[in-house]
């Protein structure tokens, strides 16, 4: 029997916090597509650590996930299986630092039934009169860690975008993902939705880069009006910057790569006044960046 959108989730209507909702913001930050520098997962973990929250909706992961492509962890100990990390795709009711509630959709990106998943989220959006949906993503790009973090912004209406937003990339085709489809379908249905994709240096894409999480939370706060904490991420981001600076001093070849990225970045800024990606200067490839930086990141791990 084919599942209908309403069969994919359960609302926990007994949760008293539901009475506090008044045209809230819904933030979606899912695992599984791309999360360079662990920016999205760090942002989610930080918000759930710092802010009061409770689960108000649970999706049926058995219908939405392909366990063979993303196998959950089983713990085996003393000749027996002793634990299982059950995947959870849920919506949290979260309260910001000013006492304003919002909704946060977290968990693994569905592998199947994307259209019905989007319709299910749409039902929840209508049920709680959500005024704005905000998506968070972190993507690897040829940018240096020594410059401000760039951000690609897209929305279902142009007036939701920042006033100085430029069309710097033109028209491209990208791999489909559930949250991108969600924003697209919401736009077709006249719902307000906006998405942020933080630009993460290629060479730290496989490591935790807290600056990405900090920037995503700040972008979410700026566009939604929510008062969200970044304390803790600021300190962690500063530590990573110091570690990278030390490694650049010890590795002239890697420093050259970063210098080339800095020159490209600065060329673009001087020409446009915006900190995105200049496309005219020759650059090392992502593989070249990755190979050189993986070597010294591995050395950092060895040093502890």
pLDDT tens figures, 27-45 = 999 998 889 999 999 999 9
* Torsion of Cα atoms, 4 then 30 then 49 then 61, to 10°: 40
The model's confidence at residue 173, banded by pLDDT at 50, 70 and 90, is: confident
pLDDT of residue 296: 46
Distance, CA of 65 to CA of 230 (rounded, Å): 32
263 pLDDT band, cuts 50/70/90, is confident
pLDDT band at 251; cut points 50, 70, 90? confident
Query: How far is it, in rounded angstroms, from Cα 198 to Cα 183?
Result: 17
- Following CA atoms 45, 46, 47, 53 in sequence, which dihedral angle do they give, to the nearest 10 degrees? 60
Distance CA(247)–CA(265), nearest Å, equals 21
**So what's the pLDDT on residue 141?**
87
Helix (H) or strand (E) holding 34: none
pLDDT, averaged across the chain: 87
Neighbour-count burial of 273, counting CB atoms closer than 10 A to its CB (0-12 exposed, 13-18 middle, 19+ buried): exposed
Per the document, the length of the chain is 304
Q: Dig out the tokens for 251 from the structure.
A: 């590795």
- What is the DSSP secondary structure assignment for residue 98, as one 8-state letter? T
Residue range 94-107: average pLDDT?
97
Q: Confidence class of residue 118 from pLDDT cuts 50, 70 and 90? A: very high
C-beta of residue 57 within 8 angstroms of C-beta of residue 11 = yes
Full-model pTM = 0.86
pLDDT band at 245 (very low <50, low <70, confident <90, very high): confident
CB proximity list for 285: less than 8 A, separation 6 or greater: none
Domains with residue ranges and CATH for the chain = 5-229 (3.40.50.10900)
Q: Bin 134: left if φ > 0, else alpha if -120 < ψ < 50, else beta.
A: beta
Exposure b/e, 108-122, CB count within 10 A at least 16 = b: bbbbebbebbbbbbb
Rg, the chain, Cα only: 21
pLDDT recorded at residue 256: 84
pLDDT at 206 over 60: yes
% of the chain beyond a pLDDT of 70: 86
Percent of the chain at pLDDT exceeding 90: 63
Checking if the pLDDT of 55 tops 50, the result is yes
Write out pLDDT tens, residues 128-168.
999 999 999 999 988 888 888 888 899 999 999 987 766 66
Contact 189, 122 (CB under 8 A): yes
Q: Residue range 46-68: average pLDDT? A: 96
Alpha carbon separation from 188 to 166, 170, 183 (Å, rounded): 22, 21, 9
**Overall average pLDDT of the 183-193 stretch:** 97
pLDDT attached to residue 45 = 97
Instruction: Please report the pLDDT score of residue 273 as a whole number.
Output: 59
pLDDT band at 197 (very low <50, low <70, confident <90, very high): very high
- The pLDDT of residue 280 is 35
Stretch 266-275: mean pLDDT: 68
- The mean per-residue pLDDT over the stretch 206-222 comes to 94
Closest alpha carbon to 106 in 148, 140, 146, 55: 55
Mean pLDDT of 45-61: 97
Q: Return the pLDDT at 284.
A: 44
């Amino acid at each position: 029997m084919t599942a209908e959108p309403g069969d994919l989730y359960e609302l926990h209507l007994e949760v008293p916090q539901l009475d506090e909702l008044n045209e809230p913001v819904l933030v979606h930050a899912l695992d599984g597509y791309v999360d360079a520098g662990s920016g999205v997962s760090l942002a989610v973990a930080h918000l759930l650590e710092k802010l009061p929250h409770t689960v108000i909706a649970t999706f049926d992961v058995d219908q939405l996930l392909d366990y063979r492509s993303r196998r959950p962890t089983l713990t085996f100990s003393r000749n027996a299986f002793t634990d299982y990390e059950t995947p959870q795709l849920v919506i949290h009711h979260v309260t910001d630092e000013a006492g304003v509630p919002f909704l946060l959709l977290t968990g693994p990106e569905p592998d199947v039934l994307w259209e019905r998943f989007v319709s299910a989220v749409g039902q929840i959006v209508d049920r709680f009169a959500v005024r704005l949906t905000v998506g968070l993503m972190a993507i690897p790009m040829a940018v240096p860690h020594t410059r401000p973090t760039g951000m690609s912004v897209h929305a279902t209406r142009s007036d939701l975008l920042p006033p100085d937003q430029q069309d710097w990339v033109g028209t491209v085709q990208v791999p489909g993902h559930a949250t991108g489809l969600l924003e697209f379908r919401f736009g077709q249905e006249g719902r307000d939705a906006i998405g942020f994709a933080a630009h993460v240096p290629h060479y730290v894409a496989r490591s935790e880069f807290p600056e990405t999480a900090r920037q995503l939370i700040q972008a979410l706060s700026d566009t939604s009006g929510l008062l969200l904490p970044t304390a803790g991420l600021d300190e962690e981001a500063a530590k990573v910057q110091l570690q990278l600076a030390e490694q650049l001093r010890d590795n002239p070849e890697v420093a050259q790569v970063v210098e080339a990225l800095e020159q490209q970045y600065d060329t673009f800024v001087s020409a446009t006044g915006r900190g995105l990606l200049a496309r005219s200067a020759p650059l090392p490839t992502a593989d070249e960046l990755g190979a050189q930086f993986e070597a010294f990141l591995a050395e950092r791990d060895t040093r502890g």
